[in-house]
Amino acid sequence: MLKSSQFQFTGNINVQTMERQAGIFIAEKNTAVGWNAHGKENKVFGDVSGECNILLHNISILNDPDFIDTPIDDRDINFSFETPGNENESNISLDSVNVTTMLNNSSLLVGKGQINGIDANQKQNVSHGNTYGNMNHITKNLSINNDPDMIDAIIDDQDIKIANINWD
């Protein structure tokens, strides 16, 4: 069997925005098994990305009086098996990778990749939200978010993740 490969990355990686549970995998062989990202997030205003954003006279109020806040039960069992296969000749050559926005559970894979078991359970209170791009003008806004739950964002994620990674 021919086992020859060439991986060459000589350029730049430019990333503007990545959210939770996002990944960039650049290699000859990529393996990710059993990703986990659980949580609750309160943001009063949110994220601002880009250049020359103008945000004036904003009032953001977030009220989240939970009695029990985000109980998480995550008892994952992860198994990963690699099965050697016929490796053919592969040539990968990159100058650059540009990513503008990667949201939850996003992946960019270059090369042979096996991505299994991605979890991203989340409850998010954002009073205003995300702002992306250039030259945004956000003026004189009022954002109010009230979330008076007795029990908030119950996450019961008890996965069994089995990955058979076959490199052929």
CB–CB of 65/148 below 8 Å? yes
User: What is the predicted pLDDT for the residue at 2?
Assistant: 43
Q: What is the mean pLDDT of residues 84-97?
A: 67
What's the rounded mean pLDDT across residues 82-96? Answer: 66
Per-residue pLDDT band at 49 (split at 50, 70, 90): confident
Furthest-apart CA atoms within the chain: distance in Å? 67
Residue 4 reports pLDDT greater than 60: no
DSSP codes joined into one string, 22-57: -EEEEEEEEEEE-----EEEEESS--B-SSS-EEES
Distance CA 152, CA 33 (A): 29
User: How many domains would you assign to the chain?
Assistant: 1
| Domain that residue 55 falls in | 5-167
Angstrom distance (rounded) from CA 49 to CA 37: 22
What is the per-residue pLDDT for 1? 43
Say which amino acid occupies 117: G
**Residues contacting residue 103 through CB under 8 Å, at least 6 positions apart:** 19, 22
Q: Name the pTM for this structure.
A: 0.60
When pLDDT is cut at 50, 70 and 90, the band that residue 91 belongs to is low
Q: Give the CA-trace dihedral at 18, 23, 27, 31, to 10 degrees.
A: 180
**Six-digit token pair at 65?**
């009086």
Q: Is 36 exposed, middle or buried (0-12, 13-18, 19+ CB in 10 A)?
A: middle
What share of the chain has pLDDT > 70, as a percent? 88
Tokens describing residue 59: 């009032």
Helix (H, G, I), strand (E, B) or coil at 80: strand
